[in-house]
A and B are shown apart, each in its own frame.
Chain A
Amino acid sequence: MSAVAGHAAVQKRIAPISLFLSLLFMGLGQIYNRQFAKGILLALLEAGALVFGIKPFRHAMWGLYTLGETVQQRSARGAIIVQGDHSIMLMVEGLIYLLLFVLFAAVYILNVRDAYLVGKWREQGGKPRNFREMMSHAWERGFAYFLLAPAFVFALFIIVLPLVFGILIAFTNYSGPNHLPPKALVDWVGFDTFVSLVQLRAWKNTFLGVLTWTVVWAALATVTTYFSGMFYALLLSHPRVKFKRFWRTIFILPWAVPGVISILIFRNLFNGEFGPINRYLQAIGLQAIPWFSDPFWAKFMIVFANVWFGFPYWMALMSGVLTNIDREMYEAAEIDGASGWQRFRRITLPLLLFSTTPLVIMSFAHNFNNFNMIYLFTSGGPANPNYSYAGSTDILISWIYKLTLEQNKFNMASVVSIFIFVVVASFSIWNFRHTRAFKEEDMIQ
C-alpha cells in the first residue's frame, strides 16, 4: 500500500525534477526521462559551448563594452609597433557573439520546456518517444520551422545584425579624422552625436536645410507624377481616342527603361555646356540655363525631369481603376444633368483618390529615399557653402551616403538614418493600419 503511494508520489514529481535537472545542465532532464540520444546531444551542445565558447564570449563582451583599450603605436618611421585594438571589429564581433548567445539561450529554454513537458507526460503514464519517433514528430509538427530556418539565418545576419550595429554606431564617436580604427580607438559617447546634430550650427543648418528640401522634393515629386499620371490615364480613357494600346505602350516606356540609365541620360541632356536642351534654348534665342550650377534651376530640373520617370506608373495604375468604374454611375449622373466636370469631380476623382491612397503614401516614402534620382542626376550639387558635406539638392539619404562613403562621419550618418527610419516607419505604420492587412483575421488572432 505504502509502496504504491510512494511510487505515485515519485510519479508526481517527475516534471519538476526533469525541469530542475535540465535547468542545471542541458540534457540531464531528458536523460532522466530516458530520452538518451536527445539528452546526450543536448549535453554535448552545452559542454561544447562551455569549453569553446566561454573565453571568446568573455572577450567579445569585453570588446563590446570597452570598444578596445590598446591604441595602435607606430614608430617614428610609421612601422606598426603595437597592433592595438580595432574598435569596430570588436563591436561586430561582440554583436555576433551576443546573437549566438541569444540563440543558445533560446535552445536552453526550449530544452527546459521540453524536459518539463515530457516529465508531465510521464506523470500521466505516457511513454517518452524514442529518438526516431522524435525526429519524425519534429519533421511533421515543425515543418514550418524547417522552411523558415534558412531565411531566418539570412535575415539575422544580413538584416538584423547590420541594423543593430548601425543603430549602435550612433552612440559612438566613430568618425574621421580622429576616431578611425585601426589607427585610433572608438568610444561610446551616449547621445552626444544626437545633441550636436541639433545644437552645433554647421550640423543643425545642414540637417534642417536638407530635411526641408527632402520633404519638399518628396511632396512635389509625388504630386506632380500623380496628377500627370491621372491626366494621361483620363485622356486615354476618352472613348473616342483610337490606338489606346499604342499610346499606352509608348507612355510606359520611361518606366520600362532601367532608371539608372535614363537618369544618366538626363544628366547629359541637361548638361550646361554640351547638352541639347541648352542648345535648343539658345537656338530659339533664349539664355542657356545653368541647370547644374544654380540651386534653384537644379531643383527645378530634378522635379521636372522626375515627371518623365514617374507618370507612367500612375497612368498604368489609374487606367486599371478607370476601366473598373461602373459605367452606369456616369449614365445615372448624366440623366440627373451633371456636367462633365461634375461627373469627374464627384465620381471619378473620389474613386481614384480612394483606391490609390496607400500607394500615394508609399510613393512619398519612396521619393523621400530616392537616392538614385538625386545622386546619379546631380550628385547632390551644386555645392552649398552653408552645408557640411551636402550640396543644394542633396536629400537626407544621399547626404548619409556622402557622410559614410566620402567623409567617414559614420556616427552622424547613423543618427540621420535613425531619423529617416522613424519617418518612414510612421508612414508605413499609418498605411498599414488603414489597409485590410491589419484587420485580417490572422493578424489579430
Chain B
Amino acid sequence: MMNGVNNIPNMRGGYKARERVTLFLIYLVLTVTAIAVLYPIYWIILGALNPGSSLFRTSMMPTGLTFDHFRDLFLNTDYLNWYRNTLFVATMNTILSTVLIVMTAYAFSRFRFPGRRATLMSMLVLQMFPSFMGMIAIYILLLQLNLLDNLWGLVLVYAGGSIPYNAWLVKGYFDALPKSLEEAAKIDGASNAYVFFKVMMPLSVPILTFVIVTNFIGPWMDFIFARLVLRSTEKMTLAIGLYNMVSGRANTDFTRFAAGSLLVAVPIAILFLFLQRYIIEGLKAGANKG
C-alpha cells in the first residue's frame, strides 16, 4: 500500500521526463533534417559566391565573397539569352494555355452538346499517353512548319500538351461552383461574357492560380522537349544550358553553374512558397479527378 502511494508522484515524474526526452528527440530529428535539407542549397550558394572556380575547391566555409562568377556567367556564356528565352516561353505558354484551358473547361462544364461525353472521355485517355510518344512526330511537324529551333515551336508544344489534364481539372472546379449565381446574373440581363468574367472568374482564383503557376514553372523545368526543339546555343532555355555546363567531364564550369542555378532557383522558389497553398490544393484535385 505504501508502495502504491509512492508510485503516483514517481509515475508523474517519469511521464514528464519521457515527454521531455521525446520532445528533445523530435527537435534533434528536425534539426538534423533541416541541415540535410539546407545543405545542398547552402553548398550551391557557396559555390556561386566563393572565389576559385573548381568543384573541388568549393569548401564548406566561405573563404571570401566574389561576384566574379556572375560576371563570368553574363559575359562569357549565353546565360542572359537563355534566361530571356525561358521567360518568353514561360509567359507565352502561360497565356496561351490558360486561355485555351479555361475556354475548354467552361464549355464542358456549362454547356450540354452532342459529342460532349465522347470528347471528355478522349481527353481523359489522351492525358495518359506519355508525352514522349509523339516526340518524333512533333519533331517532324515542327520541321515542316519551320518551327524547329524556334521558341514559338516550343510554346505550341507545351500549350498543346497541357490542355487535356488541366482542362479536366478546371472543369471539375467549375462543376462545383453553384450555377445559381450565374443564373441570377443572367436574369438581371448580364451577357455571357459578363457572367464569365465577373461571376465565374473571381470564384475560380484558386484553380486559375494553380494553372497559371504550373504552366509558368513548367518551361523552367522541362528538359525533354526543349532539347528536342531547340538546337542552337543562343536559342536554348535554362534547363538545357545549365545541364550542358555540368554534364561534361570537366568540372571547371561548376561555379558558373552554381551562379546560374541560384538566379533561377531563388525567384522560382519564392513564387512557389507564396503560392504553395494553391499548388497543393490543385494537385489534390488533380488526383481525385483521375
| Chain A residues with a Cβ under 8 A of chain B | 88-89, 92, 142-145, 147-148, 150-152, 154-155, 157-163, 165-167, 169, 232, 235-236, 238, 240-241, 247, 249-262, 264-269, 271, 273-276, 308, 313, 316-317, 320, 358-359, 361-362, 369, 371-372, 375-376, 379, 397, 400-401, 404-405, 410, 413-414, 417-418, 420-421, 424-425, 428-429, 431-432, 435-438, 440, 442-443, 445
Q: Determine if B125 and A258 form an interchain contact, defined as CB atoms under 8 angstroms apart.
A: no
Residue ID in chain A nearest B156 by CB atoms: A158
Closest 6 CB pairs of A and B: A162-B134, A158-B160, A432-B290, A144-B111, A162-B137, A165-B137
Q: Determine if B37 and A251 form an interchain contact, defined as CB atoms under 8 angstroms apart.
A: yes
Residues of A within 8 A of B251 (CB): 268, 271, 274
Q: How far is the CA of A251 from the CA of B276 in the complex (A)?
A: 13
**Cβ of B74 under 8 Å from chain A:** no
**Cβ of B192 under 8 Å from chain A:** yes
Chain A: minimal CB distance from B145 (Å): 10
Q: Determine if A159 and B134 form an interchain contact, defined as CB atoms under 8 angstroms apart.
A: yes
Q: Determine if B107 and A397 form an interchain contact, defined as CB atoms under 8 angstroms apart.
A: no
**Cβ of B280 under 8 Å from chain A:** yes
A274-B56, A358-B287 known; A258 vs B264 contact (CB < 8 Å): yes
Q: Determine if B43 and A145 form an interchain contact, defined as CB atoms under 8 angstroms apart.
A: no
Q: Determine if A438 and B290 form an interchain contact, defined as CB atoms under 8 angstroms apart.
A: yes
Q: Determine if B265 and A258 form an interchain contact, defined as CB atoms under 8 angstroms apart.
A: yes
Q: How far is the CA of A47 from the CA of B161 in the complex (A)?
A: 35
Q: Determine if B243 and A144 form an interchain contact, defined as CB atoms under 8 angstroms apart.
A: no
Instruction: Give 20 A-B pairs besides A258-B264, A417-B130 with Cβ atoms closer than 8 angstroms.
Output: A142-B113, A143-B107, A151-B100, A151-B101, A154-B159, A159-B126, A159-B161, A166-B136, A167-B133, A232-B33, A247-B34, A249-B273, A257-B41, A260-B220, A262-B40, A359-B287, A414-B133, A428-B128, A432-B124, A435-B290
Q: How far is the CA of A425 from the CA of B163 in the complex (A)?
A: 18
Interface segment out of the listed B23-31, B178-186, B204-212 = B23-31
Residues of A within 8 A of B41 (CB): 253, 257
Q: Determine if A316 and B276 form an interchain contact, defined as CB atoms under 8 angstroms apart.
A: yes
Q: Mark B145-166, 1 if CB is under 8 A from A, else 0.
A: 0000000000011011101100
Q: How far is the CA of A445 from the CA of B24 in the complex (A)?
A: 57
Q: Determine if B130 and A372 form an interchain contact, defined as CB atoms under 8 angstroms apart.
A: no
Residues of A within 8 A of B220 (CB): 258, 260
Chain A: minimal CB distance from B264 (Å): 6
Q: Determine if A162 and B265 form an interchain contact, defined as CB atoms under 8 angstroms apart.
A: no
Q: How far is the CA of A418 from the CA of B128 in the complex (A)?
A: 11
Q: Determine if A166 and B133 form an interchain contact, defined as CB atoms under 8 angstroms apart.
A: yes
Chain B: minimal CB distance from A435 (Å): 5
Q: How far is the CA of A379 from the CA of B288 in the complex (A)?
A: 33
Q: Determine if B40 and A358 form an interchain contact, defined as CB atoms under 8 angstroms apart.
A: no
| Chain B residues with a Cβ under 8 A of chain A | 19, 23, 26-27, 29-30, 33-34, 36-38, 40-41, 43-44, 54-56, 58, 60, 100-101, 103-104, 106-108, 110-111, 113, 116-117, 119-120, 123-126, 128-130, 132-138, 140-141, 144, 156-157, 159-161, 163-164, 167, 172, 175, 192, 217, 220-221, 223-224, 227-228, 238-239, 242-243, 246-247, 251, 254, 257, 261, 264-265, 268-269, 272-273, 276, 280, 283-284, 286-290
Chain A: minimal CB distance from B201 (Å): 15
A166-B135, A241-B26 known; A257 vs B239 contact (CB < 8 Å): no
Residues of B within 8 A of A169 (CB): 136
Residues of A within 8 A of B36 (CB): 308
Residues of A within 8 A of B157 (CB): 158
Main secondary structure, interface of B, reads helix
Q: Determine if A258 and B134 form an interchain contact, defined as CB atoms under 8 angstroms apart.
A: no
Q: Determine if B269 and A424 form an interchain contact, defined as CB atoms under 8 angstroms apart.
A: no
Q: How far is the CA of A400 from the CA of B159 in the complex (A)?
A: 23
Q: How far is the CA of A401 from the CA of B135 in the complex (A)?
A: 9
Residues of A within 8 A of B108 (CB): 144, 148
Chain A: minimal CB distance from B117 (Å): 8
Q: Determine if B43 and A165 form an interchain contact, defined as CB atoms under 8 angstroms apart.
A: no
A151-B167, A258-B220 known; A424 vs B175 contact (CB < 8 Å): no
Q: Determine if B134 and A250 form an interchain contact, defined as CB atoms under 8 angstroms apart.
A: no
Residues of B within 8 A of A376 (CB): 223, 243
Q: How far is the CA of A410 from the CA of B135 in the complex (A)?
A: 10
Residues of A within 8 A of B128 (CB): 421, 424-425, 428
Q: Determine if A437 and B289 form an interchain contact, defined as CB atoms under 8 angstroms apart.
A: yes
Q: Determine if B103 and A275 form an interchain contact, defined as CB atoms under 8 angstroms apart.
A: no
Q: How far is the CA of A255 from the CA of B273 in the complex (A)?
A: 9
Residues of A within 8 A of B144 (CB): 89, 92
Q: How far is the CA of A361 from the CA of B286 in the complex (A)?
A: 12
Chain B: minimal CB distance from A413 (Å): 8
A142-B113, A158-B161, A274-B54 known; A166 vs B134 contact (CB < 8 Å): yes
